[in-house]
Amino acid sequence: MIPTSDLRKGNLISTEYGILPVYVTSFNDIQVKGKDGRILWAKNTNPVKINSDQLIKIGFSIDEDQNYEMIIGRKGFYVCESQDGDFVLLYRNDIGLNHYPIDFVEYIHELQNIIYWLSRN
């Protein structure tokens, strides 16, 4: 179970209905938006590991780069997977390109929250 305090609207989580975005958190209850657009109460909520499929679901797309196994970009953010399987978050802002090693981040909702706090969107 993921603590509701760790979740924001739009975070991808695994539920009994599949992998869906959070719609609302209220105290310890979580509502998700179903694939058909219905709002559902989720009883079983679990984190989803970062992988390229989940990154694509949150708006990233695959770009090619020679230094990394994969590089996926979204609005100034890039996630790279090195050959040893570690992920690195690159963020381009007005100052330049910043590197944030995210090998401590295991789940997609954590990455979504980091991106939110860096960009506020």
Q: Whose CA is closest to 2, among 76, 112, 116, 115?
A: 112
Cα 6 to Cα 108, 113, 115, distances in angstroms:
12, 9, 14
Residue span of the structural domain in which 11 resides: 4-42
What are the pLDDT digits (tens) for 68-119? 667 788 878 888 876 777 777 887 776 767 776 676 788 999 989 988 888 7
- Residue 3 clears pLDDT 80, i.e. is over it: yes
**Does residue 38 sit within a domain?**
yes
Instruction: Determine the pLDDT at residue 104.
Output: 73
Q: Is the pTM of this model over 0.85?
A: no
Residue 104 is given by DSSP the state T
**Does residue 47 sit within a domain?**
no
Q: Are 15 and 60 within one domain?
A: no
Q: Are 99 and 59 within one domain?
A: yes
